[in-house]
Amino acid sequence: MKEKYIRLLKFVGRQGTDNVIANLEMLGFFEAPASTVFHLNRPGGLLEHSLNVNEVALALREQMILFKPELRDTLPQSSVILVSLLHDVCKAEIYRPVIKRRKTESGQWVDYEGYDVDYSAFPLGHGEKSVIRLLRWGMPLTDDEIVAIRWHMAPWDLPFQSPEAKGSLTKAKDRCPLLSILQAADGLASHILER
């Protein structure tokens, strides 16, 4: 899976790709889980999730182009690949393996391996952290790619956003079809493919 991910990322041909891959490697992206208790909470889950989001996003792009052919220029394949593979780079270093306890059906307490979240290394918002990391690592992003990665968690974050942020999200969705593709692909991968 790692080889496929790297091959897809290099296919985009974006400046800074090798540096992004090196940093993902250093931060443990390829071994990290996708979550603590939800989808793909196992080693390598984040990599698998990113590839799933990529496949769904590319399929959604093709379907949307069938409905509105003019979207082909607005939704470049390279941007769809890039945002789907890199939307969650913020998660690369936040999960820590721990031993947790749970009750079995018979009422016995047992230990099991799990994950806790630790944001202390770089405590920043989810999408913002991904964008900032990518830019710092030397990967130029288009405005639409920044918007899509920044707001991809909006369906889950929205209740906690200020009225100003909610207004910005509405404007972002109106002007950036890439955001809707990424949000939909992320949700479909997480809640259908990975359950």
- Taking the whole predicted model, whether its pTM rises above 0.85 is answered as yes
| Neighbour count for residue 2 (Cβ, 10 Å) | 15
User: Are the CB atoms for 89 and 122 separated by under 8 Å?
Assistant: no
Give 120-146 pLDDT, tens digit per residue. Answer: 888 777 789 999 999 999 999 999 999
User: Concatenated DSSP letters for the chain?
Assistant: -HHHHHHHHHHHT-TTHHHHHHHHHHHTTTT--S-SSSTT-STTHHHHHHHHHHHHHHHHHHHHHHH-TTHHHHS-HHHHHHHHHHTTGGGTTTEEEEEEEEE-TTS-EEEEEEEEE--TTS---HHHHHHHHHHHTT----HHHHHHHHHTTHHHHGGGS-HHHHHHHHHHHHH-HHHHHHHHHHHHIIIIIT-
pLDDT score at 8: 98
Residue type, 85: L
> Residue range 168-179: average pLDDT?
86
Give 67-108 pLDDT, tens digit per residue. Answer: 999 999 999 999 999 999 999 999 998 888 889 898 999 999
Two tokens, residue 115 = 């994950």
